[in-house]
Amino acid sequence: MSVRNVFVVGLDSINRERLENLRGAEDYRFHGVIEPAEVYDTEIFPIEDMLASAEARLREFNEPVDAIIGYMDFPVSTMLPLLCKRFGTRSTSLESLLKCEHKYWSRLVQREVIGDYIPRFTAFDPFDAQALQHIGEAGLYFPFFVKPIKSSGSRLGFRIDSPEDFAYATARLCEGIGTISEPFNFVLEHANLPDNVRAVDGGHCMAEEIIGGWQCTVEGYVFEGDVVPYGIVDSIRYPQVLSFFCYRYPSRLPSAIQDKLQQLTRQIMAHIGYDNAAFNIEYFWDEVQDHIWLLEINTRIAQSHCDLFDKVDGVSHQQVTVDLALGQVPDMPSRQGRFKVAGTFFYRVFFVDATVSRVPSAEEIEALQQAYPGARISVQVEVGTRLSSLPEQDSYSYALAYAWMGADDDAALEENYARLAEQLHFEFEDIVG
């Protein structure tokens, strides 16, 4: 069998290491296309130029282009169907992807088949002075949540409890929404959209009924029309805020709830027509009401879950992405890893802003990784970093480091992280509390 060439948008050293440890990787050659800094360390996305650059790089390649993949949210996930279509590689259709990523279209499609499991919602224009009135006319009242039609992570998402909250949120939205709305609108121009969706472009926002409970993510894929959920990860937040504390795998949800989540996942992804690609769906289970809510659908694996699957199942779930792109049934193992449980922890500060004056040294990080078997730490800042300059942050905190850890049970996992976090020494100046 000849070596197969897999191109990865935004390939960095961490993910190259993960990819080269996949099953069958000895038969693959991984190539980067578009520099990591262009998709990681920025909030400026000239998507037309990025596509042109990627196409030129691929056309210069003098061997077969067997697959083009990515493992990031916008703009990578949204670019892939356009790039794959140009080179005849496997991907879901642009329209099926947008039925997941365009939040208003996604809710409309979800309402067609699982309407009891989604919140009340409406779209609005943040530049419209009457936006709050229109939201009320649509039957949404305080409190509610607002976010852009297309965003990345938890960026520009706000809980609204009063007119003052709404005024603050819309000011922030109007200031920042263009960085994604303009490139997202470029993608929309290439799609066949219903008229009611085309009228709600990337400059619009969503208002949704507040939902909550036990949050989790169903990771899955579709191969030749067969929808396969293969893992559920719990998402645990800091008390009283929207910021994530950790992701934990495998889920501790009751088995009946996990079964229902898988059923809903199969139902909605089949209805959307999504195919030959990976996805994940975020849900809430309201334990008090015993009710499930679908939060959103993402058209990729969750990169922050890669080490969790590696630690518990034996390989990163990038296995799924690569196999699908090559037209193969994913060769994803189960419970063959080194640990019984694993977590991705977010080391955060809750300042309004500050400048970093000290970060843990490479020697300190290495000592911690040696002290906790299986631990991996990735520091996201350096001395001199202004926290407000960090991309892809939520509206309430800053993630300074990620720590991936494994253990034999939940208690040991949490205890190990608590001890590790105490030894991660950052310092700051010019703190705005």
Tens digits of per-residue pLDDT, 83-114?
A: 999 999 999 999 999 999 999 999 999 999 99
- Coil, strand or helix: which one is 199? coil
Helices (H), 298-361: 306-313, 318-325
Which domains, from first to last, does the chain contain?
A: 4-92 (no CATH), 120-209 (3.30.1490.20), 214-432 (3.30.470.20)
Average pLDDT over residues 322-349: 97
Helices (H), 88-139: 94-101, 103-114, 131-137
Average pLDDT over residues 205-228: 97
Tens digits of per-residue pLDDT, 372-385?
A: 989 999 999 999 99
152 has a pLDDT exceeding 90: no
Question: Using CA atoms, how far apart are residues 113 and 59, in angstroms rounded to an integer?
Answer: 42
269 has a pLDDT exceeding 80: yes
Q: What is the mean pLDDT of the chain?
A: 95
Average pLDDT over residues 132-148: 96
8 A C-beta contact, residue 72 and residue 39: yes
The pLDDT of residue 10: 93
pTM of the model: 0.93
Q: Which residues of 387-402 are buried (b: 16+ CB within 10 A; e: fewer)?
A: beebebbbbbbbbbbb
392 has a pLDDT exceeding 80: no
Tokens 């699957």 identify what position?
A: 309
Confidence class for position 153, pLDDT limits 50, 70, 90: low
Average pLDDT over residues 295-314: 96
> Which residues, including other chains, have CB under 8 Å from residue 62's CB and lie 6 or more apart?
none
The counts of H helices and E strands in the chain are: 15, 17
Tens digits of per-residue pLDDT, 30-88?
A: 999 999 888 876 677 889 999 999 999 999 999 999 999 999 888 899 999 999 999 99
The pLDDT of residue 421: 97
327 has a pLDDT exceeding 80: yes
The pLDDT of residue 39: 80
The pLDDT of residue 154: 65
The pLDDT of residue 187: 95
% of the chain exceeding 90 in pLDDT: 88
The pLDDT of residue 41: 65
Question: Using CA atoms, how far apart are residues 282 and 387, in angstroms rounded to an integer?
Answer: 27
| 396 or 359, which is more confident | 359
Tens digits of per-residue pLDDT, 340-366?
A: 999 999 999 998 899 999 999 999 999
Alpha-carbon torsion, ordered 298, 302, 304, 309, to 10 deg:
150
The pLDDT of residue 347: 96
Tens digits of per-residue pLDDT, 159-193?
A: 999 999 999 999 999 999 998 899 999 999 999 99
Average pLDDT over residues 410-428: 96
Question: Using CA atoms, how far apart are residues 136 and 122, in angstroms rounded to an integer?
Answer: 10
Question: Using CA atoms, how far apart are residues 46 and 89, in angstroms rounded to an integer?
Answer: 23
| 367 or 393, which is more confident | 367
